[in-house]
Amino acid sequence: MGLRERILADTKDAMKAKETARLSTLRLISAAMKDREIAARTEGGDEAELGEAELTAILSKMVKQRQESAKAYEEGGRLELAERELDEIRVIQSYLPRQLDADETRAAIDKAIADLGAESIRDMGRVMAELRNRHAGQMDFGAVGPMVKERLMK
């Protein structure tokens, strides 16, 4: 069962179980997928169906947005809103691949650098693109960028 089918099935299950918070988040995910499909069609793309990698990218973006919102709410003293954002993050992350830990991330960076024969900071873009292809949704690329840069400067 693909990611899209899982989300649709879980939406139906949440409706039946009357899980309002989960249902709300699943509907947000569905709306984001539909928005992206519409944008792809208006850009001239023939394919209306999004691939797994695109769905993963959408979910990763949604998690990042909610993390930023939760942080802003916490700083503003709105803990109930921050908690709601964190609940949404947990639901969204259940559809993302497992995140790589620090050792696995370093190993993935080293492998990508070795496979590409990257030797200098000029190769950073190629390395980052390769990591995105191999590990979409499995690592925080905002944190990985400085690690790649450090590794290439050695």
21-37 residue pLDDT tens: 999 999 999 999 999 88
Predicted TM-score (pTM) of this structure: 0.73
Q: What CA–CA distances, in Å, run from 105 to 16, 84, 102, 135, 143?
A: 39, 29, 5, 9, 10
Domains contained in the chain, CATH given: 3-93 (1.10.1510.10), 102-152 (1.10.10.410)
Q: What CA–CA distances, in Å, run from 152 to 3, 121, 123, 149?
A: 35, 5, 8, 5
92-122 residue pLDDT tens: 999 988 888 889 999 999 999 999 888 889 9
